A and B are shown apart, each in its own frame.
Chain A
Amino acid sequence: MSATFLGMPGNFPKNSQKAVQDSQLRYNLRKATHTIRGKRASVVGELPDWAELRAAGKAIKDHTLRNLDRYLVQLERAVQDAGGTVHWARDAAEANRIVTALVKATGEREVVKVKSMATQEIELNQALAAEGITAYETDLAELIVQLGDDFPSHILVPAIHRNRSEIREIFLEKMPKTPEGLTDDPPALAEAARLHLRERFLRSKVAISGANFMVAETGTLVVLESEGNGRMCLTLPETLISVVGIEKLLPAWRDLEVFLQLLPRSSTGERMNPYTSMWTGAVEGQDFHLVLLDNGRTGVLADEVGRQALRCIRCSACLNVCPVYERAGGHAYGSVYPGPIGAILTPQLRGMGSELDASLPYASSLCGACYDVCPVAIDIPEVLVDLRAKAPHAAAEKAGMKVAGWILDDHRRLAAAQRIAAKVRGLVPKKRLPGPMSAWTDTRDVPEIPEESFRDWWERNERA
């Protein structure tokens, strides 16, 4: 995978430092994450069997990953039987070549797109542009990002870092035929986008999408969305090309009963998203192509701890609870996958060769909130710690981590360490650590050490 987000060099601490000084950004992010977080909690609370659904979702994904080769072959057969064509792509370059050739074969120079993280990951729009083909994003937020020459900052609401007056300015400047006297009222802005895009939908002969799920048993592809731009792209053009990561597979039709409950509630915090489209092969006379994308995924699959990241269904719940994401914003992660999932997925997909990717496993406080909300129970803190061990770091930090690992590994050692810490707490400096450990406290305060560890308190109170 090529380094995505070329406009963003540096590393996570550097990028996030800039972001935390942007008070507008912090306000927008805080409002958005807290609002969605609250909605999610209330609709998840409505389901008494949430824990069972989550366990099933996790197991279905793990079972699929374990048997991915078999299920991919089954999917391929089912899609072909239903009149579709299946292509395989080892990496971004190969996927881009396949899609470009398919578009060229239609003789078209314009394509419409449904929001898709896989095509962002492979930078398909840029690859198409290099061949003289223009790709138009049709999701409202993606349109705002594209017209603003900008990067998405959230999985679900990519333009959340923009406010209404900025959006109005982008529309006035970049959208042809914007209604005169356009206000910054959201309905007015949405109406302007509707007019702008409708013409394009009706004209376009080729569409490109991703998919939320693919069903091996039936060959069915599934797209969840809200606006209807997805339905427009999926149904109106003559040719449909879907680029989908190989991990998006589910074995059986029945498995959708789990994920159609897990995803909308975790994502937008709704009982169900406004529109879900499902299609199997070529339907209603369309020409259908499916491009199956590896691009580093099989490498992630080979890592025993890290492979759980491939369970991710891109709901974005982990972003909305992450104290680090809330302050740093999505751009600091320098990849299409921001937040906690980005911190574990990006360095695995791209490797930790760059400063940015090596810094991502540290973009977390390890508070565990991301694990608690994850609908497929990805233990993000566990993967972070594992990646930290693999990332290149300074000797001191490495030694510190080793000690911490040794202590945390054994509950007796941990209890002893906590007792010692409580005894010497008066001696530990309040803000800055001395010597080689000072690098650690440059960006953090030393946590306050309690007078008594929780374990000891519990013991004492249980005995009493």
Chain B
Amino acid sequence: MSAREEILARIARAVAGAEDVEIPRDYRTEAATGDLVGLFAERVDDYRAVVHVLPAAEAAGLVAERVAGRRMIVPDGFDLAGHESWPDLHTADGVVTGCAVAVAVTGTIVLDHGPGQGTRAQTLVPDYHLCVVRAGQIVSSVPEAIARLDPSRPLTWISGPSATSDIELSRVEGVHGPRTLEVVIST
């Protein structure tokens, strides 16, 4: 018998006669109403990320300012006039991206690496990640985010900068991922 057949047969024997289980789903699918932008900003700030809330026009200005003079990766599909993308992943100062969805209650940004979001490596290797979140992309809860996402795409959920607590539980930012995460929320 192949390993596959044997394992499947062992399982069938092990659970024979066991009753099936109904899954209760009376947990909340929406976590908050009201000021999602404010809640998201507060929760992102809790992770020691830098966060700004600005009207769209000013947000664009801030992004342009942050990108100017830095060797920044600007992925295809990211709308930033007049800036050339830095080609080398390993010598880039940083990367600027949009996102697919954001979760207010956990302060999480999710990238699906579609247009304007770069590859997975591009948002990982450089030390600085500047991320633009549109207010309309913010949902309240994890269930709402899951419902919006497409599992056939690679997905990266980011909650604050890279961090470790492995040495005496003292929190250190950035062992491998970007040490600085800056989030611009455009309203």
Contacts and interface: CB of A to CB of B under 8 A. Distances in A.
Interface of A: 28, 31-32, 35-36, 48-49, 52-53, 55-56, 59-60, 62-63, 65-69, 72-73, 82, 87-90, 94, 138-141, 144, 157-160, 163-164, 167, 186-187, 189-190, 193-194, 197-198, 201-202, 215, 218, 220, 226-229, 231-232, 234-236, 246, 253-254, 256-258, 260-261, 268, 270-280, 283-284, 292, 294, 298-299, 301-302, 304, 307
Given A164-B167, A231-B156, A246 B7 contact: yes
6 contacts: A35-B169, A66-B18, A158-B166, A228-B162, A271-B43, A271-B106
A276 B23 contact: no
A160 B85 CA distance: 42
B12 interface: yes
B27 A275 contact: no
B154 A278 contact: yes
A254 B168 contact: no
A187 B170 CA distance: 9
Contacts of B166: 139-141, 144, 157-159
Interface stretch (B55-63, B71-79, B172-180): B172-180
B146 interface: yes
B165 A157 contact: yes
B167 A258 contact: no
B36 to A, nearest CB: 15
B162 to A, nearest CB: 4
B187 to A, nearest CB: 23
A140 B142 contact: no
Contacts of A59: 21-24
A221 to B, nearest CB: 10
A164 B157 contact: no
A56 B105 contact: no
A276 B28 contact: no
Contacts of B81: none
Nearest to B29: A257
B170 A186 contact: yes
Contact of B8 (A56, A69, A220): A69
B24 A56 contact: yes
Given A190-B175, A235-B120, A268 B21 contact: no
Contacts of A246: 7, 11
B117 to A, nearest CB: 13
B163 A62 contact: no
A194 B176 contact: yes
Contacts of B174: 190, 194, 228
A141 B165 CA distance: 9
Contacts of B169: 31-32, 35-36, 157, 160
Contact of A279 (B20, B143, B154, B167): B154
Nearest to B43: A271
B47 interface: yes
A193 B176 CA distance: 9
A280 B3 contact: no
B93 to A, nearest CB: 16
Contact of B151 (A139, A198, A215, A258): A215
Question: Interface range on chain B: under 10, 10 to 19, 20 to 34, or 35 or more?
Answer: 35 or more
Nearest to B143: A257
A271 B6 contact: no
Contact of A56 (B11, B25, B120): B25
A299 B14 CA distance: 7
A198 B176 contact: yes
A272 B106 contact: yes
B161 A274 contact: yes
A49 B3 contact: no
A164 B14 CA distance: 47
Contact of A232 (B15, B107, B153, B176): B176
Contact of B27 (A89, A160, A258, A304): A258
A257 B143 CA distance: 5
B156 A90 contact: no
Contacts of B155: 276-279
A235 B121 contact: yes
Contacts of B7: 72, 88, 90, 246, 292, 294, 298
Nearest to B19: A66
A270 B11 CA distance: 35
Contacts of B165: 157, 226, 268
Given A140-B164, A164-B167, A283-B154, 11 more contacts: A49-B28, A88-B4, A186-B172, A190-B175, A218-B152, A227-B177, A260-B157, A272-B157, A274-B47, A280-B151, A292-B7
Interface centre among B23, B108, B160 (most CB of A within 10 A): B23
A67 B151 CA distance: 22
B90 to A, nearest CB: 7
Contacts of A277: 120, 154-157
Contact of A271 (B14, B107, B146): B107
A275 B156 contact: yes
Contact of B124 (A55, A226, A235): A235
A298 B14 contact: yes
A298 B10 contact: yes
Contacts of B168: 28, 31, 163-164, 186
A72 B147 CA distance: 23
Given A202-B90, A298-B11, A257 B163 contact: no
B162 A227 contact: yes
B17 to A, nearest CB: 10
Given A69-B8, A227-B176, A270-B159, A301 B146 contact: no
A83 B13 CA distance: 31
Given A56-B25, A159-B166, A227-B162, A236 B156 contact: no
Contacts of A139: 166
B2 interface: yes
A110 B37 CA distance: 46
A190 B164 contact: yes
